[in-house]
Amino acid sequence: GQQLNQSPQSMFIQEGEDVSMNCTSSSIFNTWLWYKQDPGEGPVLLIALYKAGELTSNGRLTAQFGTTRKDSFLNISASIPSDVGIYFCAGQLRMDSNYQLIWGAGTKLIIKP
């Protein structure tokens, strides 16, 4: 089946540090979405990207849709404790006559005490 390679799997960072994570695939996607999920909660949409090369910011978050439409990265600047959680990338592509999300395995962000 379709897969997204998301890295890193986990990150230990100091508060105030910048964070970067990315997703790659062999497939071309129409849309890239970045979600954050806290324990026991549903994923919350952070950023949506629609065009190749698009760079979008949401506060301290910046994400880009790769020019080949096969990859995306998410950067978080000046991390704070509430940034802790699991970040998922998801790419949307057409399968048969429907559009579905293909998910990365997630990046777990942990802030060192």
The alpha carbon of residue 32 and the mean position of all alpha carbons in its chain are separated, in whole angstroms, by 8
d(CA 92, CA 4): 11
* 84 in contact with another protein (CB under 8 A): no
Whether the CB-CB separation of 110 and 59 falls below 8 Å is answered with: no
Nearer of residues 68 and 94 to another protein, judged by Cβ:
94
Name which of residues 4 to 33 contact another protein (CB under 8 A). 30-31, 33
User: Taking the complex as a whole, how short is the minimal distance between the CB of residue 73 and another protein, in angstroms?
Assistant: 18
CA distances from 29 to 3, 16, 44, 61, 71 (A): 12, 33, 20, 21, 9
Nearer of residues 44 and 78 to another protein, judged by Cβ:
44
Total chain residues near another protein (CB under 8 A): 26
* 48 in contact with another protein (CB under 8 A): yes
